[in-house]
Amino acid sequence: MNAPENYAAYNERRDDEIDLRDIALAIYTGWKWIAASIIFCALLGILYIYVISTPTYSTDISYSATTGGLNVLNSMPGTNYSESQALEEFSQRLSSYESFKSFHEENPDVINSITQDDLDSDSQIRSFFFDRFNINTPGDNETSRTLSLQYTEKTDGPKVLNEYFIWTEGMYAKTLVDRATRTVEDAIDRNRAKMDAHLRSHQDDISARIERLKEDDRIRIAELEDRLKAEKQSVIYSRAERIRILENAEQIASRLGIEKPTTPRDLGRQTQDRDVIYAEINSQGGLPLYFMGTETLRAEREVMEQNLEEDAKTAEIRNIESQLQQLRNNRTIEAIAERENQTPFIEEYNNLRSQNEILSASIVSPDEVDVVSAVNWAYQPNGPDSPKSSLIIALSLVLGGMLGVILVFVSNFISSIKRYNRQQ
């Protein structure tokens, strides 16, 4: 009789709705479970924060193109970099693994001391770079860029980032200067090749000019020698003609019996008509030679016959000999042949040399190039990015409370099953 009554009561109780008072009573009576669960989860969160997890930090450096920083570089001939072009190429170098690897290879002790890890293998360096470095992609209106680094407590992240930025900027400035310098040096080499060509051409021209001058001198000397010979022969002919005239005058004087120099008046008084003739002779150029007498004419003739072949020094002969002396000692040829350096006389050569001097003076040093400027240097943040202590503790408390409530409900459920089994 009792069983059916209990069963009916149970069925009646089972069909009733959930009583919130029972839930609240269950939570109240199981507060110890809930508190223990919260404390346990909180301890787990604290253990994770301070023991299990590794705090990670992040820092970044923002930079932009330096206004006018490339003016000195662009002053070099053949070089023209825009600020945006240089900024883009610099950003590519910053985000390049090969660039960071070179930085590590040049500064292994610095990097290892900063990171407190031995980045010896290529895989370690690669993992460090790709896992921790990141460079942002700027928007349309952004003029600056940001390079960020995630790191642990073992690493001085700001120092790594700043050192890498400074090293990359220096290497990129050196690369730009090397490119421009190669361009200038190529131009200088081309000018030098042209200078050598002009020098060889000038030397050939000088040789040809000397040969032309020598040939002209030889022709002129031959012509003057012919003139000198003809002039000397003309003098001999003149002397021979003078001898013939003297011989004729001597014969006339001999026939007239004139031995000493005399005048018509001394020969005897003449008629008036002969005086007129003599007067006319005198007016036409003087007395005839036979008035000089046979002795004088003979003496002059003999002297001229003795000196017939001797060289004469007439004005024309002296002029010709002077010209011959000048041609045989051509100072122009001597001056050209004695030049130790032909370059001062080559205008194109000197122009190219001046260009090379200007090109050499235009070469700049990397210190004069300022590609980018750091807007904000990397600095040590106030706290780690992860783990978030407050968030983890809050989640631990929430999860602990939820776990405690679940344990209370499970405990009550098990207790109710046991009561039901005893009732049955």
pLDDT of residue 361: 85
Nearest residue to 172 (alpha-carbon basis) of 375, 378, 374, 370 = 370
Mean pLDDT of 23-40: 72
Distance (Å, whole) CA 145 – CA 179: 25
pLDDT category at 379 given cuts 50, 70, 90 is confident
Mean pLDDT of 138-163: 78
Which amino acid is residue 103, in one-letter code? F
CB 408 within 8 A of CB 27: yes
Q: Which of 118-132, 263-277, 314-328 has the highest mean pLDDT?
A: 314-328
Evaluate if residue 229 carries a pLDDT over 80. Answer: yes
Phi-psi region of 390 (alpha: psi -120 to 50; beta: other; left: phi over 0): alpha
Q: What superfamily does domain 58-184+368-376 belong to in CATH?
A: FepE-like (3.30.1890.10)
Evaluate if residue 327 carries a pLDDT over 60. Answer: yes
pLDDT of residue 121: 66
Evaluate if residue 272 carries a pLDDT over 80. Answer: no
- Average pLDDT value for the chain: 79
Q: Which of 85-94, 105-114, 304-313, 334-343 has the highest mean pLDDT?
A: 85-94
CB 377 within 8 A of CB 61: yes
Distance (Å, whole) CA 254 – CA 305: 20
Mean pLDDT of 52-73: 83
pLDDT of residue 51: 62
Beta strands in 144-251 (DSSP E): 144-152
pLDDT category at 5 given cuts 50, 70, 90 is very low
pLDDT of residue 23: 66
Helix, coil or strand: residue 64? strand
Mean pLDDT of 377-393: 74
